[in-house]
Amino acid sequence: AKEFKDKIDECQKNLIENPPTVLAEPQQSGTTSQESPEEEHGSDDKDDDEEEDDDDEYDDVEEILLEKRVTFQMMEGNQWQNKGTGVLRVIYDDDVNANKVTFTTDKKEDLCNHLIAMESIINLDKSKHFCEWHPIDFATDEPIRRGFRAVFSSVPAAEEFYKSFQQGRTLARDSEISERDMEPRELLVPEVHGRGANDD
């Protein structure tokens, strides 16, 4: 009987230290009684918090459709200015059912963040393997029309981005994503003409 009791105690200790993942989820959801001491779950609580954080991260994860390393340029004045290298992405945005383009430099600066609209136009230069486009961009939180150029390592890489951009335009047509809805509007105040009650 003592061997049996020792074996049960050992199994219980192992279950407390290494709970099975299938059984741990229902217990964490609030089905355990509040009488159980926190000491029994000490390091498990930390793991639970990390798992919850991971779940939150997955909720906000966007679907990356394309990711390429490029040399990025922006139109400033009437000249292209080199902004360095980084990662260019085409991402599906589930909130609006549209694709967006982002560029983040190696120094973690976000220089490009815009939806691909139905009016968006992209040009592909195969001889210099770059793509150029002029969207209404939201990287600075204010909608501003900017000129972007991404120089790729090869023609196939540039063609892949071009094709992904065109697919974004098709999705924008289906979802009715238009630049007209993105442009800032001036507040119009109507002028009132006529005579007031106090006018002579």
Q: Which CATH architecture has domain 63-181?
A: Roll (2.30)
**Residue 186: what pLDDT?**
47
The residue extents of the domains of the chain are 63-181
**Residue 181: what pLDDT?**
86
Q: How far apart are CA 142 and CA 100, in angstroms?
A: 16
**Residue 39: what pLDDT?**
44
Cβ neighbours of residue 121 under 8 Å, at least 6 residues apart?
Answer: 133, 134
**Residue 182: what pLDDT?**
80
**Residue 38: what pLDDT?**
43
Backbone angles phi, psi at 31, to 5 degrees: -85, -10
Taken in order 130, 65, 169, 116, the sign of the CA dihedral is negative
pLDDT lower than 70: segments of the chain = 1-5, 7-8, 11-61, 183-200
**pTM reported for the whole predicted model:** 0.63
Cβ neighbours of residue 96 under 8 Å, at least 6 residues apart?
Answer: 115, 175, 177
- Answer yes or no: are the C-beta atoms of 138 and 181 closer than 8 Å: no
**Residue 198: what pLDDT?**
56
**Residue 200: what pLDDT?**
53
